[in-house]
Amino acid sequence: MLKLTKKADYGLIALKHLAMPRPTRESASAKEIAETYHIPLPLLAKVLQKLGKSGFLTSEQGTNGGYRLARPAERITVLEVVRTIDGPIILTSCFTSERTCDQSDTCIVKEPLRRVHESILRLLDSISIADLVDEEVPDPNDSPLVELSSLLPAVSR
């Protein structure tokens, strides 16, 4: 079904929040972020912890503690974040790792899908947290958006 988990969403929201210019202090607590965006605190906390362990965030404990970015937002890509939280991105189970699915030997779409997979990785890798702040997600090829026709149930094409 090709979608990100909520955890990944939460992680991106949090990172973007921390990357945005903020009036008061540079850091923000999990609670603060959770309340701002109506995210369940314990869940967000876990996500932040994982992001911390993976080196995207640093944390400070105690009163007025919180999280802050461990490196410039320009140098954190959406791909890294998603992969950290959701685990490796997999388009099909075929090439998860070495594990073979029942097809694998006979699978004839494996190779083409691998390329699609790589294109998606490349896309996600090209977007940084800073880009999210600017709201200017680069448009790799700036071809027109997918036409409406292709969004309708496929029948007469």
Partner DNA sequence: GTCCAAGAAGACTATTTCAATCGTGGATTT
Partner DNA sequence: AAATCCACGATTGAAATAGTCTTCTTGGAC
Restricting to residues 83-102, which ones interact with DNA according to CB under 7 A? 86-87, 102
Cβ partners under 8 Å of residue 37, min gap 6: 10, 13, 17
The only residue of 41, 43, 45, 123 in contact with a second copy, by rule CB under 8 A? 123
Q: Please report, for residues 43, 86, 120, 125, the alpha-carbon distance to residue 79 in angstroms, rounded to integers and kept in the order given.
A: 21, 10, 9, 5
In the shown chain, the binding pattern of residues 64 to 103 toward a second copy, with x for contact by CB under 8 A and - for none, equals: -------x---xxxxxx-xxx-xx-xxxxxx------xxx
Report residue 45 as tokens.
Answer: 């906390």
Distance, CA of 77 to CA of 16 (rounded, Å):
11
Cβ partners under 8 Å of residue 59, min gap 6: 48, 52, 65, 66, 67
By rule CB under 8 A, what count of residues binds a second copy?
75
C-beta of 49 vs 92, nearer to a second copy: 92
CB of residue 48 vs DNA: minimum separation in angstroms?
A: 6
The item of DNA, a second copy, none sharing an interface with residue 45, based on CB under 5 to 8 Å by kind, is DNA
Footprint of a second copy on 33-52 (CB under 8 A): 36-39
Residues near DNA (CB under 7 A): 1, 5-7, 29-31, 40, 42-43, 45-46, 48-49, 52-53, 59-67, 86-87, 102
